[in-house]
Chains A and B, each alone.
Chain A
Amino acid sequence: MTRIILILVSLLFLSALLFAPLAVVFASAFENGLGAWFQSFTDSDTGAAIRLTLLTAAIVVPLNTLFGVCAAWCIAKFEFPGKSMLITLIDLPMAVSPVVSGLIYVLLFGAQGWFGAWLQEHDISIIFAVPGIVIATMFVTFPYVARELIPLMQQLGNDEEEAAITLGAGGWFTFFHVTLPRIRWGLLYGVILCNARAMGEFGAVSVVSGHIRGLTNTMPLHIEALYQDYSMSGAFAVASLLSLLAVVTLIIKTLLEWRMGVHHR
């Protein structure tokens, strides 16, 4: 009896909070049929928003992957003073409000910011332009790969790498042929989550973007712009695309969890 009640309570709670909102996105997006859905993407501002989101992710995700691998190698393979401090710093962006994440770059690169005058002199715009969006996105997403790899590499230990090096393999050879095959699923896991956050980030990007339509609006910002215009079908069409991204992310993530045989968090 308790069993039935608890399962029902769980399902009701998740339905109201999670399933109904997801369903409403797709229901509203396809309300007027598939043709209308495709039609909403012919809008030039919507197209620009999609391109900007893809561009941002294409810059941020590889850079943060490189950073994550470097940080994990450094932290998992070596002992050095200040290591826990380094880990805390890597985790920090997760704890900071997205709005504060955007604000710090405005204070650095904005017109009244530390480098504001210098940037203006050299005619470089970062805030209210694409570079600012890329940098803010980089800040909020850079823990993802590192956090996934550090515990994984610590758990795998150094023995196999040490064996390879002792047998005369070079550093790069060891990384690509010994380490990478063992961490690839964990790496992919981190990259997938990093990408989802990079494409979906709202707060930090909103602060630095300036909301110029067709120029500095990413997909999440464009949803807000359309919503404020009461252009609901357009807003839901873009939202459905981002929901699709979330669903795909979740599927890959679940498959990777089965593959790695671990239950994550």
Chain B
Amino acid sequence: MGLRRERSVIPGFGITFGFTSFFLCALVLLPLTALVMKGAGMDWQRFVAVVTDPRALASYRLSFGASLMAAAINIVFGFIVAWTLVRYRFPGRRFIDAMIDMPFALPTAVSGLALTAVFAGNGWIGQYLEPLGIKVAYAPLGITIALTLIGMPFVVRTVQPALEELPKDVEEAAATLGAGPAYTFFRVILPALLPAILTGFTLAFARGVGEYGSITFIAGNIPMETEITPLLIVIRLDEYDYAAAAAIGCVMLAISFVMLFAINLLQAWGRRRISGAGRR
């Protein structure tokens, strides 16, 4: 420590480090420990019974399934949006570009309420889907749509900078060498953007698995059918079954850690790709 202080003349290490660590310990580490201890303190068999309860299993399937679907929709349409914003100039482009971040700024309760109104049987879009037999609001499809909205900026905002950095001459070289547009896209552009696309996918998926606010409005919250895992935690808490809530909470926390780890790996891969390309 002494050595380091001597090297830097800038003051304030002690106080800022102390304050930051204290804040983090009190606000993050201690409560998360309480959760893990509560889960770990349970009888193992009871823990397994709670987290593999049919209702819990149905909620994992729904949360994972809808989040995967939404993230998949987003890598297709989010990619098209990112491409349009980077490659084309058209009136209103800057407005659209700014609006992409709307789901970050809009409270989830508002997006949930608004999407429900739009996709309900008598809503602006729902009234055309209902006669076709497509039920969106109060059905799993509604959950997917809400998660698509929530995850959209993650995909667009990770693909966009990668697309901007993509050197144009690579495509031109491919075209000069006789590659068609489809070949160039699938063999040249897509592989170069793969780390960014996968990062965006994982970010959107991770956010989707944990999402609660917008879903409570559009899902209808029917047990076994449209009940997501975060909602199940809330239900267990309402029953004052803190241990069960903590057990499911531990499962979700473990998923968050896995996601965080995957995102870090993907980003490291993306950085290596870019620096590797630079060296060549």
> Do chains A and B interact in one complex?
yes
Does A97 interact with chain B (Cβ within 8 Å)?
yes
User: Which of A37-45, A101-109, A180-188 lies at the binding interface?
Assistant: A101-109
A243 contacts B212, CB within 8 Å? Answer: no
Within 8 A of A (CB), among B228-273: 230-231, 233-234, 237, 240, 242, 245-246, 249, 252-253, 256-257, 259-260
Indicate if A138 sits at the interface (CB-CB under 8 A).
yes
CB nearest to A252 among chain B residues: B105
Q: Name the residue on A nearest B20 (C-beta).
A: A71
B108 proximal to A (CB < 8 A): yes
Residues of A near B234 (CB, < 8 A) are 99, 206-207
* Alpha-carbon distance between A41 and B209 when the two chains are bound, in angstroms: 34
Shortest beta-carbon distance from A20 to chain B in Å: 5
* Known contacts A107-B242, A108-B30, A162-B10; is-contact A21 B118 (Cβ 8 Å): yes
Which residues of A sit under 8 angstroms from B257, Cβ to Cβ? 95
Q: Is the CB of A227 within 8 A of B217?
A: yes
Cβ distance B54 to chain A, nearest Cβ, rounded Å: 20
| Contact segment of B145-153, B170-178, B186-194 | B145-153
Tell me which of B88, B105, B233 contacts A99 (CB under 8 A).
B233
Q: Kindly provide the distance from the CB of A169 to the nearest chain B CB, expressed in whole angstroms.
A: 10
Task: Give the number of residues in A that approach B within 8 Å (Cβ atoms).
Answer: 93
B87 to chain A, nearest CB (A): 8
* C-alpha spacing A73/B164, complex, angstroms: 31
Cβ of A97 and Cβ of B109 under 8 Å apart?
A: no
Residue total for B at the interface (Cβ-Cβ under 8 A): 87
Q: Mark B64-103, 1 if CB is under 8 A from A, else 0.
A: 0000000000000100110111001010000010110111
Among the listed B12, B98, B111, B259, which residue makes an inter-chain contact with A250, where contact means beta carbons less than 8 Å apart?
A: B98
Known: A22-B114, A93-B28. A74 touches B210 (CB 8 A): no
Q: Which of B8, B106, B216 contacts A158 (CB 8 A)?
A: B8
Q: How far is the CA of A16 from the CA of B81 in the complex (A)?
A: 14
Assess whether A14 is in contact with B99, with CB atoms less than 8 Å apart: yes
Q: Mark B124-143, 1 if CB is under 8 A from A, else 0.
A: 11000000000000000000
Closest Cβ of chain A to B113, distance in Å, is 5
Q: Is the CB of B118 within 8 A of A78?
A: no
Write the nearest CB–CB distance from A255 to chain B, whole angstroms.
10
Say if the beta carbon of B223 comes within 8 Å of chain A: no
Smallest CB gap from B93: residue in A: A7
Give the distance in Å from the alpha carbon of A46 to the alpha carbon of B210 in the complex: 28
Interface string of A58-100 (1 = CB under 8 A from B): 0000000001001101110111100000101111110111111
Interface membership of A32, Cβ < 8 A = no
Contact of B206 with A by CB under 8 A: yes
Q: Which residue of A lies closest to B113 (CB)?
A: A239
Evaluate contact between A71 and B106: CB separation under 8 angstroms.
Answer: no
Tell me the bound Cα distance from A264 to B216 in angstroms: 30
With A199-B107, A246-B105, A250-B102 in contact, is A98–B230 under 8 Å at CB? Answer: yes
Partner of A253, one of B13, B31, B101: B101
Name which residue of chain B comes closest to A204, CB basis: B212
Q: In the complex, how many angstroms separate the beta carbon of B4 from the nearest chain A beta carbon?
A: 7
CB distance from B179 to the nearest CB of A (A): 16
| A88 neighbours in B (Cβ, 8 Å) | 260
Q: Which residues of A contact B149 (CB under 8 A)?
A: 17-18, 21
Q: Do B237 and A207 touch across chains, with their CB atoms under 8 A apart? A: yes
Is there a chain A Cβ closer than 8 Å to B9's Cβ?
A: yes
| Bound CA span A92–B77, Å | 28
A90-B34 contact given A70-B19, A78-B8, A220-B109, CB 8 Å threshold: no
What would 20 A/B residue contacts be, using CB atoms closer than 8 Å?
A10-B77, A10-B84, A10-B85, A18-B103, A21-B114, A77-B12, A97-B209, A97-B210, A99-B234, A103-B237, A107-B242, A112-B242, A162-B9, A206-B213, A220-B109, A221-B109, A223-B110, A245-B107, A246-B102, A263-B161
Q: Which 7 A-B pairs have the closest CB atoms?
A: A200-B107, A97-B210, A202-B213, A21-B114, A104-B31, A203-B212, A220-B109
Known: A21-B115, A220-B213; 14 extra A-B contacts, CB below 8 A, are: A6-B83, A22-B106, A79-B4, A80-B4, A95-B257, A96-B252, A103-B245, A108-B31, A114-B34, A138-B27, A171-B11, A203-B108, A239-B113, A250-B102
